[in-house]
Amino acid sequence: MLENLFSAEKSGRLPQVDLVFRVPDVKSLQFDESFDPLTTWHYFTHHIRRYPHDLRAHTQRVLLATRPVLHSKLAGTLQDLFIALGTSGQALREELLEVAQPYLSNIDNAYFESWLKTPVLDSPWREGSILVSGNTTKPKVLVQLQKTTTIQQYASVLEEVYDCLEYGQVERARELLEAECLRPAHDPIFDQELLNIYQYTRDQGRLNQMINTMQKMGFIVPDSWFDKRQEAVQW
């Protein structure tokens, strides 16, 4: 490894650094030309096998699959996002389907449009998917996680929020956080977690609506909300 780095320096070429070190430094959802699309897509494929509800990784993987070299895997990649979200994250599913539509077949477009209206229980496998089995008789979703903790058992609202996020119930987590953020003198951590959800789901509309609601209620809205609203223009 060291000798490869030193030899690259002598030759004037940039050293080859593993994606596991490079990817965390990328702040945007899109990757520039220094990242090979196919290699980076495979990186996220392995990552999602371990963390099937990482919505940021799913989003980056779908956006990568819009590159020409990955068009054949786009439908399966989008399918994994839909499976991971279940009935949650409607806004995120709609937005990423809109991004993917120009590169999908008419059949796939109709399939995902229908899925937005009616949840699909048995989803046929598509190239690129890793969350669906390859059975041709009765396909089986591999991610079927359900919460076993009742509301009464949670030690705090934040604990329930994290549990919801772990199991892909993003909308429920957002509703809990929005309720807490509308309480006087609430913990600032609720603001941060809610802003994170707005960013992950690219829900600029709800972000603006929440700011307006807090202002109407006479709250002093933290600067972090206005910073996020400015950032949301680029979502």
Rounded Cα–Cα distance for residues 202 and 147 (Å): 25
Asked if residue 167 belongs to a domain, the reply is: yes
The percentage of residues in the chain with a pLDDT greater than 90, rounded to a whole number, is 40
- Confidence category of residue 17, pLDDT binned at 50, 70, 90: low
Q: How far apart are CA 123 and CA 125, in angstroms?
A: 6
Residue 131 lies in a domain: no
In a domain, 196, yes or no: yes
Give the closest residue to 53 by CA, choosing from 140, 161, 131: 131
Same domain, yes or no, for 71 and 168?
no
**Residue 35 buriedness (CB in 10 A; 0-12 / 13-18 / 19+):** middle
Residue-number span of the structural domain to which 228 is assigned: 151-232
pLDDT tens-digit map of 76-106? 999 999 988 888 889 999 999 999 999 999 9
Regarding whether 171 and 96 lie in a shared domain, the answer is: no
Are 8 and 113 in the same domain? yes
Number of domains in the chain: 2
Average pLDDT over residues 34-47: 89
- Residue type at 42? H
pLDDT band at 32, cuts 50/70/90? confident
The residue-averaged pLDDT of 35-47 equals 90
Q: Is the pLDDT confidence value at 191 over 90?
A: yes
d(CA 230, CA 235): 10
Q: How confident is the model at residue 64 (pLDDT cuts 50, 70, 90)?
A: very high
Q: What is the dihedral of CA 39, 45, 46, 47, to 10 degrees?
A: 110
Q: pLDDT tens for residues 118-153?
A: 877 667 788 999 887 544 444 455 555 555 555 457
Whether 204 and 104 map to the same domain: the answer is: no
Length of the chain: 235
Distance CA 185, CA 163 (A): 24
Lowest mean pLDDT among 32-36, 149-153, 172-176, 196-200: 149-153
